[in-house]
Structures are given as C-alpha cells and as structure tokens.
Amino acid sequence: MTAPSPKIDLHMHTTLSDGRLTPEELVGLLDRQGVDIAAVTDHDSTQGLDAAMAAAEGFPRLRLVAGIEISADHPTDERSDVHVLGYFLDYHNDAFQQRLAGFRDERLYRGERMVERLLEQGYAVEWERVLEIAGDAGVGRPHIAQALVERGHIATVKDAFNGLLNDEGTAFVDRPHISIAESVELIASVGGVAVLAHPLYVPGYEALIPQLAGFGIVGFEVHYGDFKPDQRRDLERLAERYGMLPTGGSDYHAMGHEGEHLPGTVGPPAEVFAELEKRAEAVRAHG
Ligand code: AMP
Ligand code: ZN
Ligand code: FE
Ligand code: FE
C-alpha cells in the first residue's frame, strides 16, 4: 500500500485581489476540499496572507504557502502581460510592501481611465461602484466587468472581456509593469522562488520558455485546470527539456461559473512541490 498522494494547489485568489471569497472563507473551503498544501496567490498583493495564515491555524492538516501573482511586462508583446507566481515569501518586509502598494496605485489610475473609456463608448458605470466592488483589493478588470454586468450593459463578466476589457478591447488601458527579471528579483528579495503562470495564455510562449531560466524562473504551470491532457503532456516535455519544474494549481477565483476548477482539484505532484521548496531554500542561502 502506498500512501495517498497529497492534494496540492499552488494558485488561488481571494477578495484581496479579484477572487470572491475572503481569505477565511477560502481556507474553510480548502479544508472541506481536503487540500493538504495550498498557496494563496493574489494579484500584486500579499494583504490576504495574514488572515489566511491565522485561519489555517484552525486546520492543522492544511499547510499554507505565502504566495503572490505579479503582472510583469511581456518581453515582446506590448499589450500583453506575463503573470509571475512567487512562493515562500517572507512578505513582512517594508520595501517589498511599498513596491506592492505602488502597483495598487497604478491600478487605481488605470481603472479610472478604463471607466472613462467605457463612458465614451456608451457603457456608463460609476467609478465609486467599481471601488466598492474592489473593496480592499487593487482595482482589476474583473471588478469593472462586474460593474458592467450590474448596470445591465453586459450579460456576464466573461462577455465583458469579449471586445471591451480584453487586451485588444476598445476600453482596455494598459498600466506600467515591471519586467520579468525585476519581478523575479522582487520575489527573491523576500526569499521566494518564481514560476511562470499559465504559459498557454502567454502569446509566443514557445519562444519565451527557453529564456525563463535566464530570468531566474524555476518552473511553469503544467497542471492547470483549463489545460487539456495533451497540452499538459506537451508542457511537461518542455519543462523537462528546459529544466523547469512542472507546477500548477486551480487559479480559483470563486466566480461560480460552470466548469470552474475548485481548490485542490488540480496541482503538482508532491515531488515537484518538494523540489520547489528546495529551490526556495537555495534562494535564502544565497541571500
Ligand atoms: P487586470 O489585472 O486588471 O489586468 O485583470 C486581469 C484579470 O482579469 C486576470 O487575472 C483574470 O482574472 C481576468 N481576465 C483576463 N482576461 C479574461 C477573460 N478573457 N475572461 C475572463 N476573465 C479574464
Ligand atoms: Zn485573477
Ligand atoms: Fe494569471
Ligand atoms: Fe491567477
């Protein structure tokens, strides 16, 4: 008899970015889902981690990893961004937190400009309402999408991304990002390791993957809910070829739409997680 493999999920969001569950609610769900190891990875923020860690103390079998998902510039495609996941962060660090606060300020400015563009195109939403929806989170397109749905302009959040808010959309406004290398440095500055999120959503990922090690990235997501078995097999091979750890997770947002992957239903095997943790220890050892 072999021990059952642990349930590991290294990608999920809370109300501190564009997820719909509070950190406490998410941790409760992780327990009900029987998850053993989970990383909370809010966009450009670690503000949910203290509450998540505190809540997790009530569930001794659950191990929470301090994570983040940073939006970085795509190296060649101006309108796209690349999401860099960071794990094992010593996030109580003033310089690090100031940097993240700067990202949230940029999100405010850019969000307001998107709302202006929407108004010009006949989709009036109140900026105040967007701020309310975002709550404690940095303003993101999903919050604006929700405001559009509430006002009856658009049927679903997904539809709002179709032509209006997507990267090629008529109301899209970009915001300044840091480079991939800088995001890796920022993560390493608090003792963390960096992994590329959902490579299949990155335009030109075939050209990017061979460069990842050069940026200091140690892996990319292979075990990702929306990737099909044959896509995962191809990514697994690429990971092997370029010495990248095949990580992954559900990217759970609690949007409640059909087919949403629940926490713990997708993620990397235990050996991959163990290796990821070793890499983080190496980052710390090299200061
Ligand atoms: P932002 O960080 O404000 O640029 O918004 C990006 C977020 O919007 C992503 O992390 C996703 O959660 C969401 N998103 C991006 N594209 C789509 C899409 N086509 N459909 C639904 N949600 C999307
Ligand atoms: Zn998100
Ligand atoms: Fe992402
Ligand atoms: Fe995500």
Q: What is the pLDDT of residues 139-191, one digit of tens each?
A: 999 999 999 999 999 999 999 999 999 999 999 999 888 999 999 999 999 99
Average pLDDT over residues 8-35: 97
User: Is-contact 148 160, C-beta < 8 A?
Assistant: yes
Q: Is the CB of 166 under 6 A from ligand 1?
A: yes
Is the fold of 8-93+177-285 the same as that of 102-161? no
The answer to pTM > 0.85 is: yes
pLDDT value, residue 177: 87
* Adjacency order of strands within the sheet including 81-87: 8-9, 37-40, 63-73, 81-87, 193-196, 219-224, 245-249
CA 280 to CA 189: how far, in whole Å?
Answer: 11
| Distance of CA 196 from the midpoint of ligand 4 (Å) | 11
| pLDDT on residue 76 | 93
Task: Count the helices and strands in the chain (H runs, E runs).
Answer: 11, 7
Measure the CA angle with vertex 108, ends 103 and 111; round to 5°. Answer: 115
Fold of 8-93+177-285: TIM Barrel (3.20.20)
For residue 162, give the ligand 1 atom closest to its CA. 19
Q: What share of the chain is helix, strand, coil (3-state, %, to 5)?
A: 45, 15, 40
Q: Domain limits of the chain? A: 8-93+177-285, 102-161
Task: Indicate which residue's Cα is closest to atom 18 of ligand 1.
Answer: 161
The CATH classification number of 102-161 equals 1.10.150.650
| pLDDT tier for residue 2 given thresholds of 50, 70 and 90 | low
Closest ligand 1 atom number to CA of residue 71:
2
CA distance 148 to 200: 28
Ligand 1 atom nearest the C-alpha of 18 is 12
- Tens of pLDDT, residues 156-168: 999 999 999 999 9
Which residue's C-alpha comes closest to atom 14 of ligand 1? 142
- Rounded to whole angstroms, the Cα distance separating 84 from 44 reads 10
- What pLDDT is attached to residue 74? 95
Counting ligands in written order, the one closest to the CA of 17 is 2
Q: What residue's CA is closest to ligand 1, atom 16?
A: 166
pLDDT value for 287: 62
How much is the average pLDDT of 59-82?
94
Q: Give mean pLDDT, residues 261-276.
A: 98
